[in-house]
Structure 1
């Protein structure tokens, strides 16, 4: 059977039930589970998939044990069907006035959500009260189509197959510490402070201390006794509690610096080769609400960070204090 898009009978002859059965079965991995979801028998699912395979002239599933695995052709077909059902769902919701029509799901790293996005959410709510923004905070790479994700902010170099990526936030990194921790240190010179202080290392950026030191003509600090943590949230919490010195990464630390909870030690930044990108699936048409969130995120990222780096670093304040002593 051939499908001619100009033929008025095309939609009538399009096997929508068979396509829906294939889609649900591909998502579930088993015909039995697909049958339960659709309220039909397992043999009905098998019959519909068989009908679709005969129509396409291609095998879509291969049985492996108790599960059904998609063939390469099946995987390609699933990608197209998933996009089509996504468009139908969004279009229907917008026209029907569904309560979810202004729902936008955004995925982003947990640390960026906690320290950069959430403090700004009040601005988005004031500007667009009609938008229901849902956050999926994770460091894993999500399946946007399967998880119904509209937008994402990803950390990296901007190249992910199947995604459209736009630069959002650059990243700089430099040593930071709490004021209380620094008040206990007598040294203010970078070399001495790096050698004597307790350093906190980021397991996700194992060479950051060495990279920063070499970029500023300093000897890399000894890391044998460093405290190694695996998340930015733990690192920043430990630093604010006075455990030691850590490598702060903008824009995550901007508000902590502005509030005085952390201090930039030497005012020397190093630009990271990676950054944060605003991403969405290629070929997808974002909803009107998603476009508004995209625009707002770009505007928020373009705003200068207020007092993100104190005009006077800890070392500079220390020198001034010594000169002021009688």
Structure 2
């Protein structure tokens, strides 16, 4: 039988917008743009032949047809969701695809991965390090570690708050130190990471040195290479959480200056709505949170002294 059904993407867009009362909120939930949500809803209205929303400035209200359609859809979608969950339990594997950017995977996640496999030997992990955010709508990533502005409502997903302070090798400190003032490093080689080109400017501004122009730069395209250069005594790199809490950086680099500058950003665990109920996702997320808390039990991340760190 050839069923007369609208595109499921349009149904999802309408259901989310109706439930949340906003195209913007629906777009955030479905990882689409507000324009895409609006187009999907309009397509559904054309398919049905009736308006589902009354669109007024700053307000989205269901029509009588829209209200009835939402109520009818709710029961159908609940049945689809329940059937899908039952099927996914039968077919569920212990495989998780994790998304994070490259330096975080290389310097933080991979060094910890053996501990995870020791604790959960049957779990299979795939890591993708695309330069853009995780496309949850495509179903490729099950969980993502993201770098974002600090969220007022993100405490239950917070891994660590980002702060920055210059670091160098102990030999570099012996050769060029002591560094008694913040200005004392301006004429020394500064190692610049192209993935975050403004971090030195931000630190200098917090130091009250926003108008200075350092003379000697070395640049790298990856955080790991920048920190490696600092370990080799080539100059000051920018230390930031979580890298400086892990070997070999924890034992081979020091932070001789007192100023630790906030970036206003943090690392969070994001999980798509479709995966939040899965046991394997809960296990992995809880493990990430536990590891983070063990590394950073308090908000402060740098001791602000010249001890190896």
The correspondence of residues 46-61 of structure 1 with structure 2, limited to 5 A, is: 56=47
Q: Secondary structure at the match of 1:264?
A: coil
What is the match of residue 247 of structure 1? 238
2-structure distance, mates of 1:183, 1:273: 33
What is the match of residue 60 of structure 2? none
1-structure distance, mates of 2:176, 2:207: 22
The correspondence of residues 1-326 of structure 1 with structure 2, limited to 5 A, is: 56=47, 91-92=86-87, 94-96=89-91, 101-157=93-149, 166-191=157-182, 193-218=184-209, 221-256=212-247, 259-282=250-273, 284-305=275-296, 309=302, 312-313=305-306
Q: For residues 268-325 of structure 1, give each alpha carbon's deviation from its aligned partner in whole angstroms, at most 9, with x where no partner exists.
A: 311220111111224544421111001111111111359x7568416x9xxxxxxxxx
Q: TM-score if structure 1 supplies the norm length? A: 0.61
CA gap of 1:88–1:221, structure 2 versus 1, over 3 A, is: farther
Q: For residues 222-242 of structure 1, give each alpha carbon's deviation from its aligned partner in whole angstroms, at most 9, with x where no partner exists.
A: 234322333212211221222
CA gap of 1:19–1:188, structure 2 versus 1, over 3 A, is: closer
Larger Rg: 1
Unaligned runs of 5+ in 1: 1-11, 21-52, 59-83, 317-326
Distance apart, 1:204 and its partner CA: 3.6
1-structure distance, mates of 2:236, 2:114: 32
Q: TM-score if structure 2 supplies the norm length? A: 0.64
2-structure distance, mates of 1:143, 1:244: 38
CA gap of 1:87–1:233, structure 2 versus 1, over 3 A, is: farther
Distance apart, 1:246 and its partner CA: 1.2
8 Å CA contact 1:158–1:277 kept in 2: the answer is: no
Q: For residues 210-266 of structure 1, give each alpha carbon's deviation from its aligned partner in whole angstroms, at most 9, with x where no partner exists.
A: 322332445665234322333212211221222211111111221247642111122
CA gap of 1:205–1:311, structure 2 versus 1, over 3 A, is: closer
Tell me which moved more, 262-271 or 295-304: 262-271
Q: How many positions carry a matched residue from both structures?
A: 248
8 Å CA contact 1:267–1:309 kept in 2: the answer is: no
8 Å CA contact 1:115–1:253 kept in 2: the answer is: no
Distance apart, 1:189 and its partner CA: 1.9
CA gap of 1:264–1:186, structure 2 versus 1, over 3 A, is: closer
Distance apart, 1:122 and its partner CA: 2.3
2-structure distance, mates of 1:312, 1:257: 18
1-structure distance, mates of 2:235, 2:192: 10
